[in-house]
Amino acid sequence: MTDGRIDKLAGALVSLPTFTDDDLSLRLDRQRKHIRWLLDQGITGDAGILMVAGGYGEGYYLEDDELFALIDTLMDEAGGRVPTMVGIFDLNVRKATRRAKYAADAGIDFLELGLPHYSCPSEDDVYIFTKHINDNADIGIMNYNNYWATPPPGFEITRGLIERMTDLEHVVGFKWSSASAAHYVGILRLFADQFAFMDNGMANSLGQRHGMTGFVDFYGNVAPRLSLKKLELIREKRYDELDNLLYALHFDAENRLNTAEGAPAFASVADGVFGRLRWRLMGLETGANFPAQAQPSQAYIDHTKRVIDESGIMEWVDWDQEILA
């Protein structure tokens, strides 16, 4: 890895929603206003990265022209003011590369690159897939260890694979979580001095204590003040305070939603349904999900609202939908 962009892969990686109307047309006017607001709130410079078409932005569901419009909008509004990223989740490497080249030509700094999967990939499959993009698009690559999306027997990014990726010029980091705490920490111990690791979830300070450079940020879309506070604690290595903050907020919404007493069952094929619902409950209306994803029951919605209200997160929310008016 010789890509100088690695130093920019740090801070709060804000995964932006994709604003749509009821006909599923993109609302780029709203997208622009939301991006401007985030910049105005301080998500600029080295404070973070803005990502379009990530999981919460329903990147999996976007047509080429929609993806390209989002890239252009992001660059128009934020290019040069904050590092930028686009999510790519294609199995077809030629399509993934075409999209990566568009992003690179537009000036986007990074890709979030999901693991290719239909059946479960081999290590060679993942390496060759990544290498093809590395060799054909001049853009920093953040590989995404989305192991839970691979079918049985399952695949996680391994030590051996990361060692091979040190030869790939544009691979600068990993969006990192693991099914195993030992693997989660062990990989950081081995590679945090060579790659930038972004914590996927950040339920506690463990990853930051072991050299991670930032965190994937869902709540920053409505609560950038909280993102900046967390970043301050990380950069000043005030990890105990970070743990206390995360614990006080019950920030690990995934676990709370799934384990809190009385939680109604709900699963979804992708992240977008959860994302739009939670944003909506925090005051950010982003529009309809792309089809054809099942929507949660009213009981699940009520439960989610209760968890959010009890968490204390709303004290950090500065977003007001009137900003889009």
Partner 1 sequence: MGTLRRDRLRGSILSLPVFTDEDHNLLLDRQRVHLRWAVDQGMKEGRAVLLIAGGVGETYMLEDDEFATLAKLGVEEARGEAPVMVMVAELSARAAARKCQVAADAGVDFVLLSPPHYSAPSEDDVFLHYKYVNDRADIGIVLYNSYWVMPNHYSFSRGLLERLSDLENVDGMKWSAPTTEDYLGIAQLFGDRIKMVQNRFFFSMGTRFGMTGYIDVLGNAAPRFSLHQTALMEAGDYDQLDALHKQVRFDPVYSPDSIPAPKKNMVADGPNALVILRSMGLDAGPPFPGQADVTPEFEEHIQRQTEASGIMEWVDWDQSIFDDA
**Residues interacting with partner 1, by CB under 8 A?**
24, 60-63, 89, 91-96, 116-122, 124-125, 127-129, 132, 148-155, 266-271, 290-294
Nearer to partner 1, 44 or 268 (CB): 268
- Name the token pair of 224: 């950038």
CB of 109 to partner 1, least distance (A): 23
Q: Is 158 exposed, middle or buried (0-12, 13-18, 19+ CB in 10 A)?
A: middle
Residue 161 CA to residue 233 CA, distance in Å, equals 32
Angle at 44 between CA 175 and CA 63, to 5 degrees: 55
Nearer to partner 1, 279 or 290 (CB): 290
CB of 89 to partner 1, least distance (A): 7
Nearer to partner 1, 17 or 116 (CB): 116
DSSP 3-state of 263? coil
Helix locations, 1-50, DSSP H: 28-40
**How is residue 170 annotated by DSSP?**
T
Q: Are strands 48-52 and 11-15 parallel, antiparallel or unpaired?
A: parallel
CB of 23 to partner 1, least distance (A): 12
Which helix (DSSP H) or strand (DSSP E) does residue 91 occupy?
none
Nearer to partner 1, 120 or 190 (CB): 120
Residue 32: CA count within 13 A, CB half-sphere: 10
Residue 51 CA to residue 55 CA, distance in Å, equals 10
Nearer to partner 1, 32 or 164 (CB): 164
CB of 111 to partner 1, least distance (A): 14
CB of 155 to partner 1, least distance (A): 7
CB of 168 to partner 1, least distance (A): 14
**How is residue 152 annotated by DSSP?**
T
Nearer to partner 1, 48 or 55 (CB): 55
- Name the token pair of 219: 């709540």
Contact (Cβ atoms closer than 8 angstroms) between residue 200 and residue 175: yes
Nearer to partner 1, 61 or 197 (CB): 61
Residue 231 CA to residue 213 CA, distance in Å, equals 10
CB of 264 to partner 1, least distance (A): 13
- Which residue from 91, 88, 114 is spatially nearest to 102, judged by alpha carbons? 88
